[in-house]
Amino acid sequence: MRKMNIVVAGLGYVGTANAVTAARYNKVTAVDKLPWKAELLNQGRPPVADALAEKFLKSYELDICAVTEGTECYSGADLVIIATPTDPLDGRLDTSSVESVIGQVTAVNPDAVIVIRSTVPIGFTDYAAKKYNTESILFCPEFLREGSALYDELNPSRIVVGFPQGSGAAEEKAHGFANLLLQGVEKKDVPIMVMNSSEAESVKLFSNTYLAMRIAFFNELDAFAEHGGLNTRNIIDGVCGDLRIGNYYNNPSFGYGGYCLPKDSRQLLGELDGMPNDIIEAAIRSNVSRTEYIAEQILERAGRCGKKSVVGFYRLTMKSDSDNLRNSSSLEIIKALQHRGVSVIVYEPAVKDPVIFHCPVIEDIDDFKRESDVIAANRYGRELDDVWDKVYTRDVYFRN
């Protein structure tokens, strides 16, 4: 069977996982406008923190290369996967990078199948199919975690593919792409769900918003327990012993953050304008309240030191195995502390600059521990064991 010529646009977590997976059996060209990302991939190193992707790039002979301009490679592509960022603009997902790729592909290669894996507003795929007059555009939501995106790509919980409403040709291509994904996974018996694209787009936004609500719920449980001098873990273990609830996504934190949950929940809230949205709106408000609550707890602890205290933030990433600082809940807490005149320092190996958000970055962990009067840790690290008495964390399971 001949190799497909696949182009992956965007080298974040999703794009990198897709490129590495596809390159095991096909010829892959990855496109990212940031030269350092393309350079890293061409050196056999993933441009994101993903241990399995790093292992694959070292262990397998992958037919993959990276470039910074995609027009030429789009012209010869059988399949183009779009995984470019859709960062919020004025509170809504900005799809300009996705539209840019679609426009380039349809201009030079109208026969290529285009698969959007970026998160987009509900109805976007239908809109794009009409605007660019194509029946070769699909939406396939990703359900990947930062730091383990390749593992999740190889072991999916389900494969969802959406096609524009009323397009029989696109529906056939959706089934074909779903089967293509199925061939590359390691997990057996993966459910395939083919539906119209607006339904698939809804699956993505409602899934992430549910996860945000779940985090907010257990954070409110934690605040109740902390305020009453109760053991948070005992309560959570008891609650999650109910199989209908399940023992997952229940470790308290400083608030949900990262790239996906904040923007996706706000996007969905906007989609529900004029319809019942009380639970979703409450989850977003709850997350704001959580960061304010954590800031107050840290302030109280710093005040007990009896002097102008220095608060050290141990890691800013949302997860211990991630290098992504975007929309970290710790950043909002730092802003609140700085507004109160508190001195803040940071230990974050993912940051190469000496200062971030007006906070000195301390490179040496021992110096960081010595200079900090209080250490705030969204996720605890065993290297803090010797200064446990300084640490403020709500991480009761010592896991993500």
The one catalytic residue in 140, 260, 305, 359 is: 260
Catalytic residue list contains 240: no
Is the CB of residue 27 less than 8 Å from the CB of residue 69? Answer: no
Is the CB of residue 346 less than 8 Å from the CB of residue 332? Answer: no
Q: Give me the active site residues, please.
A: 260
